[in-house]
Structure 1
Amino acid sequence: MHKLKILFIVVFALFTQTISFGQVFLPKLISDGMVLQRDVDLNIWGWASPGEKVTLHFIDQVYRTETAIDGKWSISLPPHPAGGPYEMRIEGVNLMIINDILLGDVWIGSGQSNMELTMDRVKDKYPEVISSANNSFIRQFEVPDTYSFTGPNTDYKIGSWIKADKNNIYKFSAIGYFFAQELYQEYKVPIGFINAALGGSPAEAWLSEEALNNFPEHYASLKEFKNPNLIKQIESDNKRITKEWYEGLDWKDAGIRNDWSKADLDDEDWDQMDVPGYWADNDLGLVNGAVWFRKEINIPADKAGKKGQVVLGRIIDADSVFLNGEFIGTTGYQYPPRKYAVPTGILKEGNNVIAVRIINQSGKGGFVSDKPYNLVIEGDSIDLSGIWKYRLGGSMEPLASQITVRWKPGGLYNAMIAPLLGYQVKGVLWYQGESNTDNPNEYEDLMQTLIIDWREKWQQEEVPFFIVQLANFMEAKENPEESNWAAIRQAQLNISNLPNTGLVVAIDAGEWNDIHPLDKKVIGERLALQARKMVYYELDLIASGPKVESVRRKGNQLILAFSDIGSGLLALGHKDLKHFAVAGEDGNFVWANARISGDQIIVWSENVSSPNRVRYAWADNPEGANLYNKEGLPASPFEAFIEE
């Protein structure tokens, strides 16, 4: 009996394994709520046992195939017009039913964090948009953030389609949502947005291994990171270095030992500092580690005990916040806005104390200027800027730099893009470049290679590719400057000359003190303008700001001709054009005069008798640059030379 029981278990196990192996599996993209590209041949694929027969039912048609020896199967569907919702049934040894399918236009959004940034981050800027979101014909698939160096992945571990409703709107890419909203309002066609972006990623991380062959240094890096033991060692070292640094800081921090967060702390002898600001610019100087800040605020009787929100702009790098000794929130890195809920019962009538522990790993630490700092209670705001008391808790050497594995060449292409390649799309939106500003000279080649490679991989040689140019960022300078950010913008302008490639200028949509500006609506709308003209064939639409086409010299003047001038050139908000500079043979740029003359611009400086080159908006933050067309679209920054 015992032997028979064992035999039965073995046979049953083999049987269930065969059934499991034989079942039809689908990629995460092909799932409930998906949007399929209209008006093109469609590819539906999956996996099952070798030689298994697979039947697909869709819109009153039946399609059949048989799996290949590697277990993969695919079925080609003929073009279908926009519509839905539909159901798809796929049968092998099992039955899979995909519900709520739409046919419309599918767009990919890729690049860095400004493409990835969600509606949750901009909810305070666009509260009405958030509250009114309820469009089941706008959908998003968020690609999980991951990497692989061993070869292109075939699927994602997780992922699903979501609708733009009140429950899901916060998860949508802000740029993706505003772009989709514009297109849907214009054409009433379902829009699917695939969010395949990752914060901090350089362009080379998005190139395939074949494309990286053109860049020996990056190709060698990809080869190096194919070694899983190397990755394990790096990640282990990163964790150890970070752990030891923070443990050392906590051990040194007098604020932890003596509980500087408590409300009744005697801080009479603490130094004072004007907030916002950096302690490096005050008596403490350039110190890394933990610095504690405290401020007393007076709460009227009618606000005591009420809920509220502490808003502390942005802080470099990490912070923990206490109100009357109660912990109310923490943020671990510098970029997110600090907004901490105050529960009922914490605020009291009269004197209240906010304490903030700031941890700075390197560089200047403190409160970022030109951001909101206040306590909001029932719509009323108490200003928290001004004089705070502060004291060093404990100092440390700067945290050692670490290797970010997921940003290495090829890793994001393999894990985040390769699984998309069988999925037909309408076009690509690209917002990236900040992480390549250390080496702008290779950026144009990287991006041209990327665009050509992606088009070949998708087998769509003319798939539209729309690039968002870097926004204005960092402090404005008084004099003409060399700027890697401007050099990247020039590369992006050059890249936009590729066929079926467009450029969105963003130098008026940034924030000098935030690499993640909140005005994502204008970017989405400008991307939609590009799509409307180049993809939806509204050929008379003015979709771009002025672009310099040629430069010639006449005496000590440069005569500039432009394309995309629309109904005319415009000096926005001022009678004079700003932010033009010229140089002669010595290459030293000086500010120049500029005026509009019909469809041209004349530029000159009394200090340069024979100019041979001109720059416009050539700066990290070209504050005041005001060349637009009369349709309200800004001109791209540029550097141009006279035509010999």
Structure 2
Amino acid sequence: MKLTRMMGMAAALSLLMAGMQAQISLPSVFADHMVLQQKSEVPVWGWGDASATVKVVGSWAPKDTATATVRSDGSWDTTLKTAAAGGPYTLSVLGNGNCELKDVMLGEVWLCSGQSNMEWTPMANIDNRDEEIAAADYPNIRFFHIPKRGAATPQNNCEASWATCTPDVMKNTSAVAYFFGRDLQKDLNVPIGLIVSAWGGTPAEVWTPEELVMDNPRLRDAMPDKTYPWWPVEPGVLYNQMINPVTPYALAGAIWYQGESNRDHPDSYGILMKTMIESWRKSFKKDFPFYLVQIAPFTYNAGDNGAALVREHQEWVARTVPGCGMVAISDCVADLKNIHPTDKQSVGLRLANLALGKTYGRLESGFESPVFEGMTVNKNKAVISFLHADNGLMCKEKQIVGFRIAGEDGVFEPAKAQIKENTVVVSSPKVKNPVMVQYCFDDATVGNLFNKEGLPVAPFRTDRNWDNE
């Protein structure tokens, strides 16, 4: 009798201890209202009891079950095949305790990151703010907005949740991300998931794994001299807390609006961005497309031309890093003393069109700004040719502004520019033998030269040595 009682007590204690063990849990990016990348093998991961078996099943294919065994450190991961866009579905995770996620959509997922112009919300002031907010009722657009926090070491979770796009949600999240997602959703007619991870005033180093910055002398030497307890400037601190927790969530791609905070050390910006992009792709286990916004004109009153050099490096990234692209927005600035242009609609639209052209093949042309291709000299005139200007160029005013020309002495003079089909002929009576030409290559000059599709020519200088990066 005593033995039976003792065995019963042991069994009860065993059940109690089992109940106290950690049950299956998921990172916050797996939650109700989430969007999973369609037609993919999407990573799913979490935590549980060591050696336990975890099963994952989506209601879009209830007979297909992905399994994983929990490792000794309590982590597990697997991949689950997703169907074509649609929903709502459920995602069930079965193990020591079951978890069912509801209102799960299959569609296109984009990471939206950068500094203040990506963080900028409609409530912070955008064009047609009230009308845009009132119209922001898109049940098939979902936001996952990561809080602004840094960490000294890589973190595996963050405090965020998925939210369906309503006026109240939209007005307090990234305006650029919203307009990008809205225009994608209208064209593709599929659910859109937008992971917003942005923090104003941050340099690109903080979004890059620390060791990749510190192990590269060129990047390490460009780091700020001062640190602040209230502001993230140390390498890797935002990657650790605002990127790593959602890796390797399946993405369609990433959009990026940043660069203003790297003006003090522009010469290393291109290599820094290449390093960051490659690290993100490695972390997400996919060579996803990466589309960036070239920083806009603004009266920095700088003496080192840092803004122009950052723009140049942004173009270098778009030209040389596979799967990258760039949108120019110099014409979207109404006030050169406002570093946050209020026309976020055009920025989102251009990013969406870039994705529709380069990622989805929905547009054949007209989604990339003209960029400098080459210069030839005909007597005392320089003839400039461009990429992405096959249908010709146009000026919206009587005279083209922003061109300067120099001879062998390197002294630049204001230049006259004339459109000739898809080239521009540049000259000055003060320069008999042209050697170099610049276009809007300074802090704040707003050009007025466009391709026939209405996209602005990106600023440039003809003496840039792309091989010397």
Q: TM-score, structure 1 length as denominator? A: 0.66
Deviation (angstroms), 1:547: 1.2
Q: Name the aligned partner's letter for residue 297 of structure 2.
A: N
Q: Is the 8 A contact 2:68 2:78 kept in 1?
A: yes
Displacement of 1:171 in angstroms is: 2.1
Q: Distance in 1 between matches of 2:428 and 2:221?
A: 48
**In the TM superposition, what is the alpha-carbon distance from 1:123 to its structure 2 partner?**
5.9
Q: Match for 1:457 among 283, 287, 299?
A: 283
- Determine helix, strand or coil for the equivalent of 2:151: coil
2:392–2:422 Cα contact (<8 Å) kept? yes
User: In the alignment, which residue of structure 2 is the partner of 1:85?
Assistant: 88
Q: Which residue number in structure 2 is paired with residue 364 of structure 1? A: none
Question: Which residue is equivalent to 1:632?
Answer: 454
Counterpart in the other structure of 2:8: none
What's the secondary structure of 2:232's corresponding residue? helix
Structure 1, gaps ≥5 residues long: 1-10, 226-230, 235-401
Tell me, yes or no, if the aligned pair for 2:116 and 2:201 is still in contact at 8 Å: yes
Q: 2:293 aligns with which of 468, 472, 476?
A: 468
Q: Is the 8 A contact 1:209 1:219 kept in 2?
A: no
Counterpart of 1:612? 435
Corresponding residue for 2:191? 190
Judged with a 3 Å threshold, the aligned counterparts in structure 2 of structure 1 residues 411 and 96 are, in CA distance, closer, same or farther, namely: same
Q: Distance in 2 between matches of 1:28 and 1:16?
A: 27
TM-score (norm 2): 0.90
Instruction: Report whether the alignment pairs 1:38 with 2:41.
Output: no
1:419 is the counterpart of 2:270: no
Partner of 2:403: 580
1:64 counterpart (34, 43, 67): 67
Closer, same or farther: CA 549–120 of 1 in aligned 2, 3 Å:
same
Alignment partner, residue 291 of structure 1:
none
Tell me how far apart the structure 1 counterparts of residues 34 and 72 of structure 2 sit (CA, whole Å).
28
Pair 1:154-2:163 in alignment: no
2:330 alignment partner, one of 507, 522, 527: 507
Residue 167 of structure 2 aligns with which residue? 166
Which secondary structure does the structure 2 equivalent of 1:608 belong to? coil
Q: CA deviation at 1:149?
A: 2.1
Matches within 5 A, 1:561-576: 561-572=385-396, 574-576=397-399
The one-letter amino acid paired with 1:537 is: G
Compare 121-130 and 576-585 and name the one that shifted more: 121-130
| Contact 1:566–1:631 (CA under 8 A) maintained in structure 2 | no
The answer to whether the Cα contact below 8 Å between 2:56 and 2:80 also exists between their aligned partners in 1 is no
Alpha-carbon distance between aligned partners in 2 of 1:579 and 1:475, rounded to the nearest angstrom: 17
CA deviations 1:105-160 (Å, max 9, x no partner) are 0001111011011122236723222112211100110112111223x21111x100
Q: Is the Cα contact below 8 Å between 1:122 and 1:174 reproduced in 2?
A: no
Answer whether contact 2:353 2:363 (CA < 8 A) is retained: no
Task: Say which of 67, 73, 77 aligns to 1:74.
Answer: 77
In structure 1, the residue matched to 2:233 is 407
**Structure with higher strand content:** 1
Aligned partner of 2:97 in structure 1 is 94
Q: Which amino acid aligns with 1:598?
A: E
Amino acid at match of 1:105: E
**1:129-278 to 2 correspondence within 5 Å?**
129-150=132-153, 152-156=154-158, 158-216=159-217, 219=220
Q: Does the 8 Å CA contact 1:482/1:618 hold for their aligned counterparts?
A: no
**Contact 2:219 / 2:268 at 8 angstroms: preserved in 1?**
no
CA 13–405 in structure 1, closer or farther in 2 if over 3 Å, else same: farther
CA–CA distance in structure 2, aligned partners of residues 16 and 608 of structure 1:
89
**CA contact 2:391–2:422 (8 Å) conserved in 1:** no
Deviation at 1:566, TM superposition (A): 4.5
Gaps of 5+ in 2: 1-10
Match for 1:599: what amino acid? N
Partner of 2:6 in structure 1?
Answer: none
- Alignment partner for residue 419 of structure 2, among 578, 581, 596? 596
Deviation at 1:215, TM superposition (A): 2.7
Number of equivalences? 452
Give the superposition deviation at 1:579: 0.6
Q: Which amino acid aligns with 1:464?
A: P
How far did residue 617 of structure 1 move? 1.0
Do the aligned partners of 2:45 and 2:78 also contact (CA within 8 Å) in 1?
Answer: yes
Partner of 2:268: 442
| Contact 1:553-1:611 at 8 Å conserved across structures | yes
Which moves more between the two structures, 601-610 or 195-204? 601-610
Q: 1:123 to 1:639 in 2, by over 3 A?
A: closer
Residue type of the alignment partner of 2:216: F
Distance 1:209 1:38 in 2: 32
Amino acid at match of 1:435: S
C-alpha separation between the residues in 1 aligned to 2:409 and 2:205? 34
**Separation in 2 of the partners of 1:436 and 1:423?**
28
**Residue number in structure 1 paired with 2:52:** 52
Give how far 1:165 is off. 1.1
Contact 1:475–1:512, Cα closer than 8 Å, also in 2: no
Query: Percent identity at matched positions?
Result: 34
Instruction: Say if 1:163 and 1:584 are closer, same or farther in 2 by CA, change over 3 A.
Output: same
